[in-house]
A = this chain, B = another copy of it.
Amino acid sequence: MFGTRCLLRALRFCSSAPSPRPKPSAKLSVRDALGAQSTNGERVKVQGWIRSVRSQKEVLFLHINDGSSLESLQVVADSSFDSRELAFGSSVEVQGQLVKSPSKKQNVELKAEKIEIVGNCDAKAFPFKYKERPPLEYLRQYPHLRCRTNALGSILRIRSEATAAIHSFFKDSGFVHIHTPIITSNDCEGAGELFQVEPSSKIKVPEENFFNVPAFLTVSGQLHLEVMSGAFTQVFTFGPTFRAENSQSRRHLAEFYMVEAEISFVESLQDLMQVMEGLFKTATMMVLSSCPEDVELCHKFIAPGQKDRLEHMLKNNFLIISYTEAVEILKQASRNFTFTPEWGVDLQTEHEKYLVKHCGNIPVFVINYPLALKPFYMRDNEDGPQHTVAAVDLLVPGVGELFGGSLREERYHFLEQRLARSGLTEAYQWYLDLRRFGSVPHGGFGMGFERYLQCILGIDNIKDVIPFPRFTHSCVL
């Protein structure tokens, strides 16, 4: 039963087990090499791509980057190494001694004993050249190569750190992470802008849906999160959402990421806003401390002045105004708007921008929107004559709306009436059920992740903060 032969071949590669092969030079990432505390001339191996070559009379300087950090490792070789093959963009493996650098620019450098070209770079065809710093628009033409530049390298490392920071904020606050579904049969929200999903025509079963019902790509995990908040009290999701919006704007994508949270036993917008502000500030502080060089690149070269603007956001308490107050402020504005501000009408981007400026470029929560503007699930404030619901948007400098949230209607009969008015009663029996069985006051919010990155980094176009942007007329790779 138990094959000896296959047992004999079992690898002994548990972390504690010694390797049977003779120990090669320790392999180090560029980041670890740069951060080495003691440089007693140990022999190491570093692999990466050449970012620069500088040949002097008797020495050759290379800079090697492997994406583990913005900074490259300086390699010093004697001029006997053939520098012709050592071209920008080529991949190399360098073995040698890690030593203290005589220059002030870096702590350590690698004294090369062996340099091996792993893969050449066809320099003529390579769209990036040594020492050039092409604009982000240019890089967008090369979605498969742009991550090799300093700019996109930094942005995507920050994106990775921000993802970790957001997960960690929620975990530390006791939230349970939920994978809400991507394919859904709920079709009422964002009605006009849904993507529909069908098996590809090659296998389409005629006259029948794969799922028996029409299926769409999710526009929000909120309703599914509400199911879960009825069991776990505090839940969050962080995944892709979709809009079939015919927009080429610098703030919209067809596929983007949302961070959504839902919290039971929340009785006021204040409680919700506290979590929203906490998420923004905590995640941002974590990003600033985990990859300061990458953030500095953005704040120095891509969006000068952004460092101060971000500090201003972080050190001030976010403000709160009501929708009604917002409309008053807009009406009293000295400037003209393309869309005349009026109670009962949605705020436009131009209005949002004006409000943020009016508030001294501090993020501002706008609360209590007209009931008629908002979906069935938002909690009725039972006020009048201007009838509102307990909704909240957070407007931030540069981006406009970053968060949207609300208290949810937890009262069975209120919800039942709202559903009936929208003709949705039958489709949302399950949603009513959540109010039949131990209903609790609750609320939640969503934050657009790409807009968050735009906001903290000062990146103007949303296509530059996501690895592979999808939008009207474009789905490259």
Contacts and interface: CB of A to CB of B under 8 A. Distances in A.
A197 B199 contact: no
A202 B172 CA distance: 43
A182 B256 CA distance: 10
A31 interface: yes
B317 A178 contact: no
Interface residues of A, number: 144
A188 interface: no
A91 B233 contact: no
A13 interface: yes
Interface string A188-215: 0001111111111111010000111111
Interface in A342-378: 357-360, 364
Interface string A1-45: 111011101111111010000000000010110000000000000
Interface in A429-449: 430-431, 433-441
Nearest to A88: B438
B174 A119 contact: no
Contact of A475 (B178, B184, B441, B477): B184
Interface in A135-159: 143-145, 147-148, 152-153, 156-157, 159
A91 to B, nearest CB: 4
Interface string A119-133: 111100110000000
A164 B160 contact: no
Contacts of A156: 176, 178, 228, 231-232
Interface in A391-443: 410, 430-431, 433-441
Given A122-B436, A203-B193, A153 B13 contact: no
A118 B439 CA distance: 7
B475 A121 contact: no
A134 interface: no
Contact of A67 (B90, B164, B211, B232): B232
Contacts of A339: none
Interface stretch (A103-111, A299-307, A318-326): A318-326
A477 B278 contact: no
A81 interface: no
A171 interface: yes
A102 B244 CA distance: 60
Contacts of A228: 147, 156, 467
Given A119-B439, A180-B468, A211-B470, A15 B244 contact: no
A11 B224 contact: no
3 closest cross-chain pairs (CB), A and B: A67-B232, A119-B439, A211-B475
Interface of A: 1-3, 5-7, 9-15, 17, 29, 31-32, 47-50, 66-68, 89-91, 93, 118-122, 125-126, 143-145, 147-148, 152-153, 156-157, 159-160, 163-164, 167, 171, 174, 176-187, 191-203, 205, 210-217, 223-224, 227-228, 230-234, 239-240, 242, 244, 246, 254-255, 257, 264-265, 270, 273-274, 277-278, 316-321, 325, 329, 357-360, 364, 410, 430-431, 433-441, 466-468, 470, 472-477
Given A90-B438, A194-B202, 6 more contacts: A13-B270, A147-B228, A153-B231, A156-B231, A184-B477, A187-B200
29 contacts: A1-B357, A1-B358, A3-B321, A6-B319, A6-B359, A7-B319, A17-B317, A68-B232, A68-B233, A118-B265, A119-B439, A144-B434, A145-B230, A145-B437, A147-B230, A156-B176, A164-B167, A179-B240, A179-B466, A181-B477, A182-B182, A186-B477, A192-B202, A197-B217, A199-B244, A203-B244, A205-B246, A210-B472, A211-B473
